[in-house]
Amino acid sequence: MSSSGKWLRTSFIWLVLALAIVLVIVVFFRPPSDTAPVNVSTILDHIRMDISTGQKDTLTVASNTITLARGAQRQQYRLYE
């Protein structure tokens, strides 16, 4: 085998190894989310309770998530699919 083929194979192995290390770092050292996944009826119940008590909530709608941040406590609930 030529030296350029050997160099290419070695470079590919190092690239795969580097990507694996980055993946492990991202998966294990990502900060945990303080958002609890709930269904839509739970989000609506929380909104209904907070309206009746006069508590102000923030409802954020993104492309594939709905996040409810409840009042001063800032508890967050995310709608799961």
> In this structure, are 50 and 81 located in the same domain?
yes
46 and 80 housed in the same domain: yes
The answer to whether residues 11 and 38 belong to one domain is no
Q: Are residues 38 and 24 in the same domain?
A: no
- Residue that the structure tokens 């160099």 belong to: 7
d(C-alpha 78, C-alpha 69), whole Å: 9
- Residue 46's pLDDT is 86
CA–CA gap between residue 77 and residue 73 (Å, rounded):
12
Residue with more model confidence, 49 or 37: 49
Same domain, 23 and 44: no
- What is the model's pTM? 0.51
Residue 81 has a pLDDT of 56
Residue 32 pLDDT level (bands cut at 50, 70, 90): low
